[in-house]
């Protein structure tokens, strides 16, 4: 939602739209339930006024749960798909809560069928309304509500932030300049953004340029200097953010254990270290992979015929991968490359426009259909549906000594898709960035998170080659 200070009318319209969509959903649900088209009416049609009076309670419950799911949080940077998923989750929780109230409130018998229909329609209508408002937000941010951002530090984090801002102009952030901790690169550019000067020029830069937010992306900036910069920004009513360093990634997942009177810091137990959570995830993997193998069997047949007709080679491609606890297993995929593609080169990463990829393979990779045979890996327990993507032993041995915490990702089962993959970190992309996303997933796992990732994978085509 846009800032209520800058755009009070647009911010208020979000709440009014949600309330209107809820009212419309219940009205349609009432008409459908008592129309006898789907469910017979035995006790007569109740007065619709009783349901409209109930809206005095129902609508605030919906709005409060929307707020609980941070759907009214201003200045957020969230992908549309996650916004809409949060809408559905909030609507579902509201329906469960109202369903419970019908068992407690006895003065009037409200139809639970109306509630179920209302859940369906409000999920659709509230999502549609929210999607339309998001498009309006994007237009406002892209055209009128731009934020001028100053970055401190010229490194990979800075480069990623600049690329993100340029690739997502609808979030309304313009990175206008960079300051460095030394004056070596002054006058140069990073991803087209000028390096204005040294940290010593900080106050002067703020005076000369209209800056809305400062982001410290340089991990070498000391805590004292960062604190001083934050105070200076606060004095000028400028937003301030600090990029977490490697240890900052771990601080939110630190546990304290006392032996005698000595406090010891260590990493908390992961959610999937819990036996019940592992059992739920395994049952979910088994059920979904079994159902999908049956549902997608016609697609399997069509792809198999297409691959065979193209060059007469094998339909499937098997490759050794490293999974949970470092155990090796054979991963199954539809073959997308020429036969013996790595005979001359040895193990190498797939590249964009890779000349080893067959015409059929390009389509399969672009649509993620080449991964479908891994449903068998998930069914037999070699993999999970969601988790860190498994890598070949050759690359695991290479990365384990080069990248901190790389082997931590092998504490859980590998997945067909993952938190990193739906954010475009697949193919020949940064392994360090993937690790951050993999660790975040491991430390924050829930079954609902798995469902969200699987849903988002349908729309995740970035870097699919």
> Across-strand partners of 331?
319
414: DSSP letter: -
Per-residue pLDDT tens digits of the chain, which is 465 residues long: 555 455 677 778 888 999 999 999 999 988 888 776 666 666 667 777 878 888 888 999 999 999 888 888 766 566 777 788 889 999 999 999 988 887 777 666 777 788 899 999 999 999 999 888 888 877 777 667 688 899 988 888 888 889 888 888 877 788 989 998 776 666 688 888 898 888 888 888 888 888 888 888 888 888 888 888 888 887 777 888 887 654 444 445 555 555 445 555 555 678 888 878 888 999 999 999 999 999 999 999 998 998 888 888 888 888 899 999 889 999 999 888 877 666 655 656 566 666 677 888 888 887 888 889 999 999 999 999 999 999 989 888 888 878 877 888 888 999 999 998 888 887 667 788 888 889 889 988 999 899 989 988 877 655 454
Please calculate the CA angle 369-420-450 and round it to the nearest 5 degrees.
Answer: 75
Q: Nearest Cα to 392, choosing from 343, 333, 331? A: 331
pLDDT digits (tens, 9 = 90+) for 360-369: 888 888 788 8
Q: Nearest Cα to 75, choosing from 176, 160, 2? A: 2
Q: Nearest Cα to 321, choosing from 381, 385, 389, 406? A: 389
Alpha helices in 69-168 (DSSP H): 80-104, 112-143, 156-167
Which helix (DSSP H) or strand (DSSP E) does residue 215 occupy?
Answer: strand 213-216
In the chain, what are the domains? Answer: 8-143 (no CATH), 147-243 (3.40.50.20), 273-457 (no CATH)
Q: What is the DSSP string of 173-211?
A: EEEEEEEESSSTTTT-EETTEEEEEEGGGHHHHHHHS--
> How large is the greatest C-alpha to C-alpha distance in the chain, in angstroms?
83
* Alpha-carbon span 245 to 436, nearest angstrom: 11
Please calculate the CA angle 159-162-165 and round it to the nearest 5 degrees.
Answer: 150
Task: Quickly tell me which residue has 């579902």 as its tokens.
Answer: 92
Q: Are 87 and 131 in contact (CB under 8 A)?
A: no
Indicate the angle between helix axes 447-457 and 275-295, nearest 10 degrees. Answer: 30
Q: Nearest Cα to 317, choosing from 353, 288, 285, 358? A: 358
Q: Nearest Cα to 158, choosing from 241, 75, 250? A: 241
* Alpha-carbon span 279 to 275, nearest angstrom: 6
Predicted TM-score (pTM) of this structure:
0.56
């Amino acid at each position: 939602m846009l800032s209520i200070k800058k755009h009070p009318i647009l911010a208020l319209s979000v709440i009014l739209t949600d309330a209107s969509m809820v009212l419309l959903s219940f009205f349609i649900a009432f008409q459908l339930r008592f129309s006898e088209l789907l469910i017979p009416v035995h006790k007569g049609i109740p007065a619709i006024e009783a349901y409209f009076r109930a809206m005095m309670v129902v609508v605030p419950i919906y709005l409060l749960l929307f707020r609980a799911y941070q759907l009214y949080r201003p200045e957020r940077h969230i992908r549309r798909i996650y916004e809409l998923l949060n809408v559905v989750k909030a609507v579902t929780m509201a329906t469960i809560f109202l369903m419970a109230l019908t068992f407690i409130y006895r003065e009037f018998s409200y139809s639970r069928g109306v509630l179920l229909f209302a859940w369906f329609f409000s999920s659709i209508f509230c999502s549609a309304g929210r999607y339309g408002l998001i498009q309006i937000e994007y237009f406002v941010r892209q055209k009128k509500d731009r934020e001028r951002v100053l970055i401190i530090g010229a490194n990979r984090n800075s480069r990623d932030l600049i690329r993100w801002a340029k690739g997502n102009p609808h979030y309304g952030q313009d990175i206008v300049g960079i300051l460095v901790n030394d004056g070596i690169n002054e006058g140069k550019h990073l991803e087209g953004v000028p390096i204005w000067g040294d940290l010593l020029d900080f106050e002067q830069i703020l005076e000369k340029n209209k800056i809305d937010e400062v982001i410290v992306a340089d991990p070498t900036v000391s805590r004292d200097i960062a604190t001083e910069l934050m105070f200076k920004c606060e004095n000028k009513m400028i937003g301030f953010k600090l990029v977490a360093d490697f240890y900052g990634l771990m601080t939110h997942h630190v546990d304290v254990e006392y032996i005698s009177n000595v406090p010891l810091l260590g990493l908390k137990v992961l959610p999937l270290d819990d036996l019940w959570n592992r059992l739920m995830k395994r049952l979910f993997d088994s059920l979904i992979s079994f159902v999908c193998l049956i549902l997608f069997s016609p697609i399997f047949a069509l792809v198999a015929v297409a691959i065979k007709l193209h060059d007469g080679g094998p339909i499937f491609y098997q490759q050794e991968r490293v999974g949970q606890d470092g155990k090796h297993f054979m991963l199954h995929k539809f073959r997308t490359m020429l036969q013996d593609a790595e005979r001359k080169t040895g193990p190498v990463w797939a590249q964009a426009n890779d000349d080893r990829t067959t015409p059929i393979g390009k389509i399969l990779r672009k649509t993620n259909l080449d991964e479908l045979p891994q449903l068998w890996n998930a069914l037999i327990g070699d993999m999970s549906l969601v988790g860190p993507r498994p890598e070949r032993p050759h690359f695991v041995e290479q990365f384990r000594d080069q990248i901190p915490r790389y082997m931590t990702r092998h504490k859980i089962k590998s997945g067909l898709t993952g938190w990193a993959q739906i954010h475009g970190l697949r193919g020949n992309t940064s392994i360090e960035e993937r690790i951050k996303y993999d660790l975040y997933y491991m430390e924050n796992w829930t079954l609902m998170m798995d469902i969200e990732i699987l849903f988002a994978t349908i729309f995740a085509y970035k870097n699919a080659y």
